[in-house]
Structure 1
Amino acid sequence: MTAPQNPITRAIWDGTLPIKFSLDSTEAAALGAKAIVEPYFIEAPRCSYFPLWTSQIRKYFVDMALNFIGDDAEIWYDVDGTPLKWHYPIGLLYDLHTGYRPDSNSPPPLPWPVTVHFKNFPADKLIKAQAIDATQDFFMSMIKEADFLRNGSTKKVMNLSKNDQTQLWDGLWSKNYDRFWSVNYRLVINDGQMPKHVPMRIYLPDNCPVIQEPISPVDENGNQLTLGDVLHQVLPELFPSPLPSENASAFPVPVIHGIIPQLEIPIVWASQNLCYPDNFLHIVVLLGI
């Protein structure tokens, strides 16, 4: 089966972020650096994960004659002193930690400055299992969780052949849209049936707990809910109305993949077209300007 020619999912898949990786200055001397270590620049897919880039980043700094002894699991990243969760997609981390509102007049903070650490892993804040295999396991567990929320079971994922399940990860790892979506399309389209719940997570500022609730895509009368309806339902104090406010810049906004989506879009459409590869709709709520 070939991947659907969906310009929305394709544009999301092709989205990238330029990132500037700098070695922590307090660690550079301890690792044998004799001069200033130049940063490493990459353009990473928003849908990717940091562990998929760690070997490449490690090689760059080791080639700079740094005496690092250890494996990729020892390496971690932070932004402004906050460790970055390796099991979150890179685009989600950027939206969450930069707090950049696309409707502001200021330019986006690019390239995104990320600090690389080779020691003092913050085990109290991060899961120490950053190998690619661990990332794959976590990614597939999210796929199964999304399937359970959508259908009430994980049968659709579990009924995929072993090759199809492997193809999901290989497509993401190799940045191959057709390879990934030719399988994933069968999961998110839901055979044309209305899902039981929408797989979604909402992220708030100031390290608030992530909100994940069973969200029905329809109201008690069977009418489809919009994104605004859901935000109003879950966060009525931040979204007192399901409709956009007249002075939007003064109020919180949802950000998905670096954009502010219209509140009037059906939540099912958003779930099927704006989800990350783990099939969750990850929404970052940013406060007013």
Structure 2
Amino acid sequence: MQRVWKGMIPIELQLASADAIELLASAVLPEPFQTFYMLIPRVSYLPFVTSRVKERWLDPMLALSGIRAVGDGQAIIKESDIWFEYNGQPLKWHYPVGLLYDMLVSDVAKGEAELPWSLTLHVRKFPVGKLVPSPSTQAMRDMFMAMIKEADFIRNGSTKRVMDLARSDQMQLLDGLESHSYEKYFAIHSIIVPAHDSKALASSSSTKTKSPMPKAIPVRFYMLTAGANEDGRDASTQADFSQFHISQIPVPLFKETSGTEQTTVADAFRLCYEISDPMSSAFVANCTCLCQGIKAPWESPIAWLADNLFYADCFLHLVVVGNS
């Protein structure tokens, strides 16, 4: 889990030309502010890095250009106005960064990383029709807690584990996520999702486990559908959010047909999309399942993935893309 938590994506940021012209009256940024580089944790979210981008890049750039960061009592650049774009696609700020990368960078499935990940930063003309408006640290913290409660309900049939957390524990969980502190976050995560004995699960003996088995696993599939983008480009060369069919159902730990055999990724996928025989050679040859940037074998037990490759919101986010 700690290795997954430490996963990072190097980011290369460039300010949108139109925004640069509006702010600085020039599309050419002053030295040394043409590009900003940073590492973002895979399990984190874009609103948690906007303050760093503003304080270390945008505000000093304005100061060097002789522009005050605050005018008439209002900030020239507000954090809630900042949004990110990749290849013309506004990035959903409430998705984990690692999930965004796996969905939109087509070469991930081929094992060829696009690093650093080149993004365009915008500070004007927020795309309200495409993104949830007013991204901020507090909005992200609120949305994250809603996701944690949803995952808790799927796992246990209620949100009691989350709702019973003391206010200080909730703050520690959120602070740990925002500051990317493994110790802070997992001290509280272990209360929400207690560890269980994987050997006992494999032997289908829930009486031997350290804690009660979850009722189901919080799983969300993002399947890239066939077709072309609006500008005619093939979906296999550039993904678009509109091309993903998203499906979420509570996935049982064991197959309904046997009651003792663990549910696999293929089983979960079949339940979500009602696809017959997803383990056929043709299906496996044409599709790849990604989790945390890792190719997940279709025969992998879904419970094992949920224990080892989950995101901070306690969901298992699985991206299914074609191999072509």
Give, in whole Å, the separation in 1 of the partners of 2:27 and 2:137.
32
Aligned length: 276
Unmatched segments (≥5 aa) in structure 1: 1-8
Counterpart in the other structure of 2:251: 215
| Residue 99 of structure 1, aligned match among 75, 92, 106 | 106
Counterpart in the other structure of 1:86: 93
Structure exhibiting the larger radius of gyration computed from Cα positions: 2
Could you give the per-residue CA deviations for residues 209-250 of structure 1, whole angstroms, max 9, x where no partner exists?
A: 42112222222232221122212332354x73347x4895x4
Does residue 203 in structure 1 map to residue 222 in structure 2?
A: yes
| Residue 161 of structure 2, aligned match among 148, 156, 162 | 156
Does residue 43 in structure 1 map to residue 39 in structure 2?
A: yes
| TM-score, scaled relative to structure 2 | 0.79
The structure with higher relative contact order (CA 8 Å, sep 6+) is 1
Counterpart of 2:39 in 1: which secondary structure? strand
Superposition pairs for residues 225-264 of structure 1, below 5 Å?
225-235=263-273, 237=275, 240-242=277-279, 245=281, 248=284, 250-264=285-299
Could you give the per-residue CA deviations for residues 178-197 of structure 1, whole angstroms, max 9, x where no partner exists?
A: 11112102322376322222
Aligned-partner residue type, residue 16 of structure 1: M
Share of identical aligned residues, percent? Answer: 38
| Residue 193 of structure 2, aligned match among 188, 193, 199 | 188
Counterpart of 1:232 in 2: which secondary structure? helix
| TM-score, scaled relative to structure 1 | 0.88
Give, in whole Å, the separation in 2 of the partners of 1:265 and 1:34.
53
Give, in whole Å, the separation in 2 of the partners of 1:117 and 1:169.
26
Give, in whole Å, the separation in 2 of the partners of 1:56 and 1:94.
20
- The Cα shift of 1:102 comes to 4.3
Does residue 286 in structure 1 map to residue 321 in structure 2?
A: yes
Instruction: Say whether the 8 Å CA contact 1:18–1:44 is kept in structure 2.
Output: yes
Could you give the per-residue CA deviations for residues 22-62 of structure 1, whole angstroms, max 9, x where no partner exists?
A: 11112211111546221110011111111111112123123
- The Cα shift of 1:115 comes to 0.5
Aligned-partner residue type, residue 164 of structure 2: N
Check 1:225–1:35 CA distance in 2 against 1; reply closer, same or farther (3 A cut).
closer
Instruction: Say whether the 8 Å CA contact 2:155–2:218 is kept in structure 1.
Output: yes
Give, in whole Å, the separation in 1 of the partners of 2:26 and 2:132.
32
Counterpart in the other structure of 2:78: 71
| Range with greater deviation from structure 2 (212-221 or 40-49) | 212-221
Give, in whole Å, the separation in 1 of the partners of 2:123 and 2:95.
20
Instruction: Say whether the 8 Å CA contact 2:109–2:321 is kept in structure 1.
Output: no
Instruction: Say whether the 8 Å CA contact 1:188–1:272 is kept in structure 2.
Output: no
**Alignment RMSD, CA only?**
2.1
Aligned-partner residue type, residue 223 of structure 2: L
Unmatched segments (≥5 aa) in structure 2: 70-75, 196-209, 225-239
Give, in whole Å, the separation in 2 of the partners of 1:87 and 1:233.
26
Give, in whole Å, the separation in 2 of the partners of 1:58 and 1:176.
22
Aligned-partner residue type, residue 93 of structure 1: L
| Residue 183 of structure 2, aligned match among 178, 190, 199 | 178
Counterpart in the other structure of 2:131: 126
Regions of 4+ moved over 4 Å? none
